[in-house]
Amino acid sequence: MDTTYPHLPVLYQEILTAIQPRPAGRYVDCTLGAGGHALGILEASSPDGQLLGFDLDPAAIEIATERLKGFGTRAILVRASYTGLTDQLKQLNWEAVQGVILDLGVSSMQFDRPERGFSFREDAPLDMRFDPDRGRSAADLLNSLNEVELADILWRYGEERFSRRIARAILANRPVMTTRQLAELVKREYHGKAGHIHPATRTFQALRIAVNSELASLEAVLPQAVAALAGAGRLAVISFHSLEDRIVKQYFQHESQDCICPPEQPVCTCGHRASLKVITRHPLTPSGSELDTNERARSAKLRVAEKL
């Protein structure tokens, strides 16, 4: 595997085992990043497997294009949201695919570039958009939403226990424009009560999720991915926090049941039919050796399901 690229794919071997790429197969990588997982899928499906890859970030598309150029037309990379999966497949005339993967969240490339505003390790403008040309930046949200809306974002997407207090402090200190300014402000509201993680971690997570509508996008793509899969095709999702993992777990549970009527109802009226078989009853997590070499893998969870 090429290691000259900055991003180590999380659960790399586990993704390949889950998807089982084979020649002539068609695969979708919804979250290309630096193309690490995509490269593995293309290699394993040689000589003629094909991959459609999505990313919103032009920098990711540029790096993945360079990295995957040796595969020629077998790799089709688009700068677009994976929420357009059904439409993209229609444009390609791909009726069904053998595997779909999602590796959610921010890449280390994005995190390590201060100007993207995802990290408070260095001072930079609060941007946080996966697509830097579209939508509202984190600074934009922080300086325009009201106190209740801000507190709601911090509570719902960061499970931040001091959400109200932090929202109030943001309003009192507007304009909040940089990563350091926000991190320091949050830290002050904690009054030294933070545990082992930096007190601003949850606030940054919450804002990133809100800026990129991450949970809504995940909810929108899961049914499209299942609809796109051929029988016995696999869907593999790597999540990095409990909000994402809960959505995937509940969706897999729901779609693996024949009847979803309330248990007290004697006769089924829902007509629901299972479309998936859950392959991972418990999510897979990185091995000790992966954790030793890749800090980002720390909270990764992989869930896999198979189309019936």
Ligand X SMILES: C[S@@+](CC[C@H](N)C(=O)[O-])C[C@H]1O[C@@H](n2cnc3c(N)ncnc32)[C@H](O)[C@@H]1O
Positions in the binding site for ligand X (CB under 6 A): 7, 9, 31, 33-37, 54-57, 60, 81-83, 103, 105, 107, 130, 212, 217
Which residues, 6+ apart, have CB-to-CB distance to 273 below 8 Å?
Answer: 258
Q: How far is the CB of 68 from ligand X (least distance, A)?
A: 11
Shortest Cβ distance from residue 220 to ligand X (Å)?
9
Of residues 172 and 227, the one with the C-beta less far from ligand X: 227
Nearest residue to 293 (alpha-carbon basis) of 9, 17, 4, 1: 9
Q: CB nearer to ligand X: give 71 or 162.
A: 71
Closest separation in Å from C-beta 140 to ligand X: 18
Q: Tell me how far the alpha carbon of residue 36 is from its chain's centroid.
A: 15
Residue 37's contacts (CB-CB under 8 Å, 6 or more residues apart) are 9, 12, 15, 29, 101, 103
Nearest distance in Å: CB 147, ligand X: 28
- Which residue number places its CB atom closest to ligand X? 33
**Closer by beta carbon to ligand X, 98 or else 163:** 98
Which lies closer to ligand X via its Cβ, residue 21 or residue 199?
Answer: 21
CA angle 296–297–299, rounded 5-degree value = 100
User: Measured from the CB of residue 83, what is the shortest distance to ligand X in angstroms?
Assistant: 6
Q: Bridge partners of 39?
A: none
Q: Which is nearer to ligand X, 29 or 189 (CB)?
A: 29
State the nearest-atom distance from the C-beta of 205 to ligand X, in Å: 14
Please state the closest distance from residue 100 (CB atom) to ligand X, in A. Answer: 13
Q: Which is nearer to ligand X, 30 or 166 (CB)?
A: 30
107 or 294: CB nearest ligand X: 107
